[in-house]
Amino acid sequence: MRILLVSNYFFPSNNVGAIRATRLYEYLKAKGHSVSVVTFPLNYNSEGNDRWDFRYSEKDINRVPSFFLSPTIIKTQRKSEVNTFILLLKKLNIAKIDVHIFWVMNVIRFIIQKKMYKNLDFVITTSPHDYNHFVGYLFKKVFSIKWVADYRDGWTLRPDFNPSGNKAKAALERTLERTILKKCDVLTAASPSLLRETVNRFQITTKNRLTILNGFDRKYFELSLELNGTNSRTGKFVILYFGSFDRNRSPIPFLNLLRRFLERNTQFADLVEVEFVTYFKRDDPDFEKILFNFTQRLPFSIKWTPFMPYERLICYVKERADILLLCLGDPEKDLSKYNAWVLAKVFDYLLLRKPILGILPSEGDTAQIIRDTLSGECIDPLDYESFEQILLFMLTYRHNLAEKYKFKDVKKYMREEQFKKLEEVLLSLA
């Protein structure tokens, strides 16, 4: 098959979208398919990242800039690359649609100019950003190329959709979403609930719809199995979190629960230790200040550890942690909005085979994965009674937790097993 993959994020960026797109490209190439990629040229978050053992030629990768981008890049004090034109649009609130449409416009021009649409079997568009799906819609409509819309985390159904509260923009995007997605040949999403809700809300008619979870890499799963872990740990009982923090992944509900627990169970005050191996996202600098100010008022201390390369992180966590903390939800929002959001972090945790303590909506898809794999416990952020009961159990049976948490059937969450489902659908349509 001849496939064109359109994705904002790609190697060597290390965010979830980049990892998903790059691993999909690698999988399809390994299966003998011809794959070209159109992506953005900037290397986001590549520093210190050792995940990539990129196995294919850069000649397949076309790095296309946005209109207005190249001449106007500046370096800010936060050392991030920012487009002055886009900043101006946002500050003046001129753009009623997402400014990333400028990148999509240039991508369409580039593909047509290079005649990349000729002899294609499929175009795969993956979000974010959501306007990427314009490319698949256009080439399906104009050139009759079969189109896979990898919806990933949704568009207007995301909990963080339209943070500015612009009603005109929200209405326009809902209309665009409905119009565009109804034309796709294959619809994929990163959670079962999101896929089901999208199909129902927008009356998607294609029968080729499937959940493609973010999953984990076989390489790191096998590395984790080689490591002994710490079932006989003594000393501090370490509750560890690794990854980024933002408002949608806030540890504040957990810290409130733990503060109350230690006030009522003072015998554990010197035993429990919280460690965050973390970094903060550049697009939400205010949350970093909010969290640090909050932690300064806690009656217990937190160990803050700088984020580290992924392979070293696995070895560190495997040796250091008793249980792994998973956080999902902004405490100031309706938490039911997060039910359809499957945290990619849950797959990082599954491969480590450490008990998971999830402070998140207990009826959501992330919680369902934890229950299905017998890998941990899920507690609603305001349910103190359940939190106390579960943490008491974990502290009391610290050295026997493996008897309760079996990590059942986790191999099915390997990326290659997820991508195999998509390849089978593509072959049936080719």
Provide the pLDDT for residue 428: 96
Q: Into how many domains does the chain fold?
A: 2
Token pair 């008022």 is found at 297
Write out the residue range of the structural domain in which residue 65 sits. 2-215+414-429
- 178 and 297 part of one domain: no
Residues 57, 60, 35: CA angle, nearest 5 degrees: 115
- 8 and 153 part of one domain: yes
- 194 and 244 part of one domain: no
- 225 and 186 part of one domain: no
- 406 and 424 part of one domain: no
Which CATH number does the domain housing residue 337 bear?
3.40.50.2000
Provide the pLDDT for residue 195: 92
The counts of H helices and E strands in the chain are 14, 15
- 61 and 166 part of one domain: yes
Task: Tell me which residues of the chain have a pLDDT lower than 50.
Answer: 44-48, 70-82, 89, 92-97
Buried b / exposed e over 91-111, threshold 16 CB at 10 Å, is eeeebeebbbbbbbebbbeeb
**What digits encode the pLDDT tens for the residues 333-378?**
778 888 888 999 999 999 999 999 999 998 999 999 999 999 999 9
- As given in the structure block, the two tokens for residue 94 are 């001129």
- 56 and 175 part of one domain: yes
- 205 and 240 part of one domain: no
- 165 and 176 part of one domain: yes
Provide the pLDDT for residue 181: 86
> What's the whole-model pTM score?
0.87
- 194 and 232 part of one domain: no
- 254 and 164 part of one domain: no
Q: Is 355 helix (H, G, I), strand (E, B) or coil?
A: coil
Cα dihedral value 155, 156, 160, 163, nearest 10: 120
Provide the pLDDT for residue 38: 96
Listed residue (28, 27, 10) closest to 19, CA to CA = 10
Beta bridge partners of 37: 5, 61
- 148 and 173 part of one domain: yes
CA atoms of 354 and 229, how far apart (whole Å): 9
